Structure 1
Amino acid sequence: MAFESLNAFLNMGGYAPYVWPAWGVTLAVLVGGGLQAVAEHRRRLRELRRRQRRAAADAAPREAVPTEGRPTRFP
């Protein structure tokens, strides 16, 4: 084993103040990137669903408005 004890491993031969923050920043960037990708995926799905609803509403035949009982205009 490269280190004699867990304390020696965590101390990293005196370089712990440099090593562990580097690991922390790397982990934060990776997790943040994953969370951002999930959020963007959800946002795009919502936008696609909204577009589909609009397209379906535009393509649906409109209900005819009854004209019975309304005055007719002649040119």
Structure 2
Amino acid sequence: MWNSPAEFFAMGGYALYVWCSFGVCVLVMLIEPINICIRRKAVIQRLQQERLAEQFDQEGRQ
């Protein structure tokens, strides 16, 4: 139990470890969805380019 906000934020002497851990966790939780969105767009764009290349190749054979 903490008797004051200062004791809570000090975390019994482990404040640096605890708050850095929370910070890294929050950072990862913010970056991951952004990264997934960027990757998804890149995959969709690559698939569209492959489809167009395949269509072009098929038209060249005819």
What TM bracket, shorter-length normalisation? 0.5 to 0.7
Give the structure-1-normalised TM-score: 0.56
Give the structure-2-normalised TM-score: 0.63
Equivalent pairs counted in the alignment come to 61
Rounded to whole Å, the distance in 1 between the matches of 2:18 and 2:33 is 23
- The structure with higher relative contact order (CA 8 Å, sep 6+) is 2
Rounded to whole Å, the distance in 1 between the matches of 2:20 and 2:47 is 40
Rounded to whole Å, the distance in 2 between the matches of 1:16 and 1:39 is 35
Q: What does residue 23 of structure 1 align with?
A: 22
Larger radius of gyration: 1
Task: Judging by fraction of residues, say which structure has more helix.
Answer: 2
Percent sequence identity over matched residues?
Answer: 26
Runs of 4+ in 1 over 6 A off after TM superposition: none
Q: Identify unmatched segments of 5+ residues in structure 2.
A: none
